[in-house]
Copies of this chain bind each other. A is one copy, B any other.
Amino acid sequence: MEPGRPGRLSYRALPTPGRQRTPVEDKALAKRASIDEQLAEIRRGAEEILVESELRDKLERAEAAGRPLRIKAGFDPTAPDLHLGHTVLLQKLKAFQDFGHRVFFLIGDFTGMIGDPSGKSATRPALTPEEVAANAETYAEQIFRVLDRERTEVVFNSEWMNGMSAADLIRLASHYTVARMLERDDFHNRYTEGRAIAVHEFLYPLVQGYDSVVLEADVELGGTDQKFNLLVGRELQRHYAQEPQVILTMPILEGTDGVQKMSKSLDNYIGVQDPAKEIFGKAMSISDELMWRYFELLSDRPIADVEALKQQVAEGRNPRDVKVELARELVARFAGPDQVDAAQQAFESQFQKHQVPEDVPEVTLAADEAEGLPLPAALKGAELVASTSEANRMLKQNAVRVDGAKEADRERRLAAGGSYLLQVGKRRFARVTVTEV
């Protein structure tokens, strides 16, 4: 207890791990990029930068002093199993690293080890230190596929928060008002809708903000949903007589469907640890429009290069070929450069074999309800063969597929009310809908 020091936490007495571990402070900045070039890459794909003029100022002073900026991003300590959506933020951290700045990958294990103290949520179990350590390992395996290991410091806020007393937390909480907390969207909605907010939930943004104080962050990155918490950090740094951090929010990445956000549960994700072939195939499955979004948010290519690719497509280059380049980049990053060619070859031979053209003709054929439609008649009716005898020959040669599965039975009947994808050989397709007579 420090009764004589109201209004100030003695955070300097706490370890500031970043400061101690890697003495890269005076290293020359890595990429020889002008401030404008840095800003352009940092701005790329970002949802919001608050305040950009402050960021420019920080970049200029960092350059003048030969001292890198301190970039912070916080991550959940629960079992990480990352997909490309998570790497949007990592990619932006990487951009800072490429310009020689220093990244603090902060694992919020302090609150993770508290879990859900109300005990109401079974989905937020309290983690043990062992679990935190294991999860940090899992993070490391994944994030260093994007981040530069040399310029990244993985820090745990338990390092300073476990040593914080209740009195210090009270002092910390005195720097923010209830009204401002209730301005946060989710708090506001829950409060006005009469859904419970436990008092400790007001303390978590303060803990996150205090992490910025301890790390003396120059910039904090987060998803758009993190904006409020990032602003708390700015505010607290002012209270602790620090220059407030610039905050940078990144958008949520759409999944491979191009509509909903990428998520495991929607099965529209590309996992960081997916096999090379899967990464390649999923990347090739996205729309041309989404491809440009992925280039913006996920590619290491400079924006100028991406603009050049767009120009080529506008002038007639097949977008599929550009997509191949994106897919190759992602496979190289996440599965390894040695996996790229094999993944592409596997995809293309698969593509040759089973690709269903986009313009499959639609045919409607009538059949007796009880009898159904004999398959040879269906093949002829859909004009996939010239005659029933050709149909039978194709069936005999194993050259017929129904809904992707080989079919050799000439007695096979298609039931009325159904719809079937019929294929003869590699190139002939038709979708047949069978109606009752």
Contact = CB atoms under 8 A, between A and B. Distances in A.
Interface of A: 1, 3-7, 110-111, 113-119, 125-129, 158, 161-162, 164-179, 181-182, 187, 191, 194, 196-203, 206-207
Nearest to A164: B166
A166 B199 CA distance: 14
Contact of A114 (B6, B115, B118, B206): B6
A129 B194 contact: no
Given A118-B175, A174-B198, 12 more contacts: A1-B158, A3-B113, A6-B114, A110-B167, A114-B171, A169-B169, A174-B200, A178-B178, A178-B187, A178-B191, A178-B196, A179-B191
Contacts of A116: 6-7, 174
B129 A171 contact: no
Contacts of A201: 178
Contacts of A168: 166
17 contacts: A1-B113, A1-B162, A3-B126, A3-B128, A6-B115, A7-B116, A113-B167, A161-B167, A164-B165, A165-B165, A172-B200, A173-B198, A174-B198, A177-B196, A178-B191, A178-B199, A199-B206
A191 to B, nearest CB: 7
Given A6-B116, A119-B6, A199 B171 contact: no
Count the copies: 2
A6 B206 CA distance: 20
A201 B118 CA distance: 20
A185 to B, nearest CB: 15
Contacts of A165: 162, 164-166
A342 B167 CA distance: 51
Contacts of A127: 3
A6 B117 contact: yes
